[in-house]
Structure 1
């Protein structure tokens, strides 16, 4: 059966400009980081992606290494594009990234021109696209001149393989320098993608969010639910079928320490008083900042997607509620910060 998008798909979603650019993103975007790899079949993928687009989610976020295995999320999305989404290409914002390890040898990761542009070509091939809407440098590379990394992004724009470019997980100083270099090349730094949640506030602590606001760079938060911790499922001891099941995965034991889970319990009471799920409260909090263009969600099933989209019913937070949230989470911060080798605590 051929997919046909809901004619009412733009009736309820809210959109925000990415910084001072003309690009608008839905306040809720869908990422294919860990849930659309080799074990995901086409019908279940299309159920989620189709429902998202029917709800006005126009932005789908990928990277070369998303899976597992690496590359498989782009391959699956390429099938969706070919079979169902092709008529809607001009309504979609599709992003990908390069920075993490993809192939053996010295040219398979980080920020060289060789790696970034080779990776972009591979990503386009996997997705069956002529261009992506956003191409990111996935992480800062301290061993490659930033002029080279940003020059590769600028080249992708000039040759039409990317409409916009961005950076991900860059601290404040590197964010400012990347902006300066791209501006000298006549290219806008349209967006920054950092991790950000009520339990992970590194972009506030190192002033990256303030720099983006000052420079007119939009922001899209990944892990706004702190790897699922802010769904409350770990408070019930649930690990089976979650990221907590894999000791070598992206969720670490320190993320579900008793002090963190205690903060989650307190947030649950605030959410209940607002008539929201805990997930919806967490997304409302991320989106409260004017610098934040969108919250990037990851879901395993349709019910989770619907819960996330329910945030649209109550985005506003009062000053009193924000103060209560700050008090509830004061002792439960994950204290993360980015480094070229990954996330440190």
Structure 2
């Protein structure tokens, strides 16, 4: 059956301006890091993407190595675009990245001009696109001069293969330098994609200050700490969860008793707010104005629906914020 997007898809989603730019992103974006690869059930991923768009999620985030196997998430997303979303291309923000190991030899990793430009060409081919909306350098490269990496992003912008550029996991001083180099080339760094959650707060040590000062947006990944900041693991590791998969990034040894006790208390607070813990964790990362969007993953349609309901209650009282701090620092 032909897919027809919901007519009220923009009614309830919140859209935030991305730093000092003309672009707005949905407060919740969908990442295809897990559950959309060649090892996964295609129709499940397809249903998740369609439901996300029906709920006003216009931003879909990928990378060259997403799968597994690497490249397969982009290939599958390309099929979904062709089958379902092609008529809506101009309503979508599609991003991809390069920076981690993708193919053998010295030219398939890190931050050289050679790698970044070749990788984007491959990504466009896999997705069947002429351009992506955002292209990221996926991680800092300690050996390639930042001028070369940013020069590659400049070339990509001028070629029209990306409309905006971003960086991911850069430290504050690296971010400031990247902003300055791009500025000299006549470009604005649109966005930074760092890891951020209640259990991983490194961006509060200087990065958010740089982003605010420079007018750079932020889209944070793993706001649910790979599912740990939900009620999923309170009674053990369920079959099919990320912690149960050999290629998952939530290793069972990270699910410590100390963290589970904190999750239990956070879950109680979320209940008093009439939210699931996942909804409260998403609302918590969005409390900072510099955070443009929370990037979620999903293995079921219901998880996307649950995440979007976080927007029903984004406000925290000072007492609630203090209680969260107390739980996290005990």
Residue 165 (structure 2) pairs with residue 165 (structure 1) = yes
Moved more, 286-295 or 302-311: 302-311
Q: In structure 1, what is the equivalent of residue 318 of structure 2?
A: 319
SS of match in other structure, 1:45 = helix
SS of match in other structure, 2:268 = helix
Tell me the distance in 1 between the aligned counterparts of 2:56 and 2:90: 14
Q: In structure 1, what is the equivalent of residue 16 of structure 2?
A: 16
Structure 1 residue 84: Cα displacement: 0.9
Give me the CA root mean square deviation: 1.1
Q: In structure 2, what is the equivalent of residue 257 of structure 1?
A: 256
Tell me the distance in 1 between the aligned counterparts of 2:54 and 2:170: 33
Tell me the distance in 2 between the aligned counterparts of 1:3 and 1:227: 30
SS of match in other structure, 2:94 = strand
- In 2, are the aligned partners of 1:229 and 1:255 still within 8 Å (CA)? no
Tell me the distance in 2 between the aligned counterparts of 1:43 and 1:269: 35
Q: In structure 1, what is the equivalent of residue 28 of structure 2?
A: 28
Tell me the distance in 2 between the aligned counterparts of 1:232 and 1:177: 40
- In 2, are the aligned partners of 1:60 and 1:95 still within 8 Å (CA)? yes
SS of match in other structure, 2:191 = strand
Structure 2 unaligned blocks of 5 or more: none
Q: In structure 1, what is the equivalent of residue 176 of structure 2?
A: 176
- In 2, are the aligned partners of 1:231 and 1:278 still within 8 Å (CA)? yes
Structure 1 residue 236: Cα displacement: 1.1
Q: In structure 1, what is the equivalent of residue 100 of structure 2?
A: 100
SS of match in other structure, 2:86 = helix
Structure 1 unaligned blocks of 5 or more: 332-345
- In 2, are the aligned partners of 1:280 and 1:311 still within 8 Å (CA)? yes
Structure 1 residue 143: Cα displacement: 0.5
Q: In structure 2, what is the equivalent of residue 73 of structure 1?
A: 73
Structure 1 residue 252: Cα displacement: 3.1
Structure 1 residue 140: Cα displacement: 0.3
SS of match in other structure, 1:144 = coil
Q: TM-score, normalised by structure 1?
A: 0.94
Residue 206 (structure 2) pairs with residue 210 (structure 1) = no
> 1:248–1:6: structure 2 CA closer, same or farther, 3 Å change rule?
closer
Deviation track 1:178-221 (CA, whole Å, cap 9, x = no partner) reads: 1010010011100000000011101113x111111111000000
> 1:330–1:254: structure 2 CA closer, same or farther, 3 Å change rule?
farther
Residue 103 (structure 2) pairs with residue 86 (structure 1) = no
Tell me the distance in 1 between the aligned counterparts of 2:76 and 2:279: 28
Structure 1 residue 254: Cα displacement: 4.8
1:1-345 to 2 correspondence within 5 Å?
1-205=1-205, 207-246=206-245, 249-331=248-330
Deviation track 1:209-236 (CA, whole Å, cap 9, x = no partner) reads: 1111111000000000001100121221
Deviation track 1:36-64 (CA, whole Å, cap 9, x = no partner) reads: 00133332222111111011000000000
- In 2, are the aligned partners of 1:9 and 1:56 still within 8 Å (CA)? yes
Structure 1 residue 312: Cα displacement: 1.4
SS of match in other structure, 2:218 = strand
Q: TM-score, normalised by structure 2?
A: 0.98
Structure 1 residue 125: Cα displacement: 0.2
SS of match in other structure, 1:177 = helix
> 1:101–1:131: structure 2 CA closer, same or farther, 3 Å change rule?
same
